[in-house]
Amino acid sequence: MFNKNLSGKIVAGLLPILAVCCVVGLFAEKAFGASKADRPNVLVVITDQQSARMMSCAGNKYLKTPNMDFLASVGTRFERAYVTNPVCLPARFSFMTGRYPSVVGVRHNSQGHGAKNVPQYAKDALGNLLKKAGYRTVFGGKRHLPAEMGKIENCGFEVLTNDTRFVLAESCADFFQQEQEKPFLLMAMLINPHDICYQAIRSHSEWRKKIKKVPAPLAEAMKLPEGMSKEQFFAEVCPPLPANFEPMDLEPEAYSFL
């Protein structure tokens, strides 16, 4: 989403959406040589594991996202946007560097260690580019980048907070109240709705032992209504699964490893 009337110019992204990378990348290129008046503030908001359909403005009747709906109503919502990789770590690498994750040999999360030639891409990361253009570059929330990129400071950012939930949101609100001497880029990487994964993990015997604690907000949300069985809850309250959720009868064997 892109809106020139909110905090200068605001970019709000749903990971993974490559269109946002393109908008921010083009903006970074134009920032060089521009006068201070022509260098608006940039806010990048990324949520984790939230598909483009998980917004009420996208027609989803099972949830309400009023703030995202507002951004969509005054900006642009990309309905045909594609990502370099649908998994967290490689997608974030692309977002931060503008490069395909294959250039460092990262195609899934478990390849976060041992990536090739990563430090050179950290030098050309988004934070360093805008920092060179005279911006204050600030980062808060989830990182999950290849280990070889090191600290987020290597990508040109100062750390606002390491929190990924409520403290991050409050810290961003406080940041906006401060008078800034320079135009700024603020990246807020929220972890939710990623926490919903705990519901599936908690129901899977193999993984249940590895999860020591479910985040409090999710634990509260997963409580069954009084007098309702789990079967009834999933049948009557939860959104239905898509029609193509089950494997096809003639599904290729190559898919079995997934």
Average pLDDT over residues 194-210: 69
Neighbours of 9 (CB within 10 A): 18
Average pLDDT over residues 187-214: 74
Cα–chain center distance at 113: 21
Average pLDDT over residues 204-232: 73
**What would you report as the CA-atom Rg of the chain, rounded to the nearest whole angstrom?**
20
Average pLDDT over residues 34-39: 68
Q: Tell whether the model's pLDDT for residue 107 goes beyond 80.
A: yes
User: What residue ranges do the domains of the chain occupy?
Assistant: 2-192, 195-257
**What does CATH list as the number for 2-192?**
3.40.720.10
Average pLDDT over residues 143-153: 88
* Residues 121-155: b if buried by 16+ CB within 10 A, e if exposed: bbeebbbbbbbebebbbbbbbbbbbbebbeebebb
Which has the higher per-residue pLDDT, 13 or 64? 64
Q: In which element (H, E) is residue 19 found?
A: helix 18-31
For 52, the token pair is: 């483009």
Average pLDDT, the chain: 80
Q: Minimum mean pLDDT among 170-184, 205-219, 221-235, 238-252: which range?
A: 205-219
Collapsing DSSP to helix, strand or coil, 55 comes out as: coil
**pLDDT on residue 30:** 56
**pLDDT on residue 105:** 86
For 26, the token pair is: 């083009």
**pLDDT on residue 97:** 92
**pLDDT on residue 142:** 94
Which has the higher per-residue pLDDT, 38 or 258? 38
**pLDDT on residue 168:** 96
pLDDT band at residue 18 under the 50/70/90 scheme? very low
Which has the higher per-residue pLDDT, 187 or 9? 187
CA atoms of 254 and 229, how far apart (whole Å):
37
Which has the higher per-residue pLDDT, 69 or 106? 69
pTM of the model: 0.76
% pLDDT > 70, the chain: 77
Q: Minimum mean pLDDT among 14-18, 85-89, 97-101, 119-123: which range?
A: 14-18
Q: Minimum mean pLDDT among 18-27, 90-99, 232-241: which range?
A: 18-27
Q: Minimum mean pLDDT among 9-13, 138-142, 205-209: which range?
A: 9-13
Average pLDDT over residues 147-151: 85
